[in-house]
Amino acid sequence: MKFTFKKHPHETGLASIANPYPSTDIKLGGKICGFISPPSAFGSDKWVVYLRLFRSQENCNWYNATFKGAKFGTEGEAREWLNLNAETLQTKFQIVPED
């Protein structure tokens, strides 16, 4: 199954100075399962992929995971990487969609 994407609206006002790019939701089967975080004035200068993965603990059964080497210069590169590795990610990890 391929990942689909939905962009958030642009920030407005003073918030747009620190966050010039909108983040993007990652969907699998129509449900949000992660996001692509854009560069920020106060953080990374790369686009970073976060997926919501399963973990077995009492208080919280999921966590947001990043992937080593999965930092990209553009959002398009991040989307392409996700769709190229969709089958591997879905078989290797248990992706948890939002309720």
pTM, entire model:
0.87
In which residue are the tokens 């993965």 written?
Answer: 53
- In 1-99, which ranges are continuous DSSP H helix? 15-18, 75-84, 86-92
pLDDT digits (tens, 9 = 90+) for 3-58: 999 999 988 888 888 888 999 999 999 999 999 999 887 877 899 999 999 988 77
Q: Spell out the residues 6+ positions from residue 81 whose beta carbon is closer than 8 angstroms to its own.
A: 49, 70, 72
> Domain-by-domain residue ranges, the chain?
4-92
Give the number of C-alpha atoms closer than 13 A to the C-alpha of residue 20, restricted to the C-beta side: 10
E strands present in 1-99:
4-7, 24-28, 31-37, 47-54, 62-65, 71-72
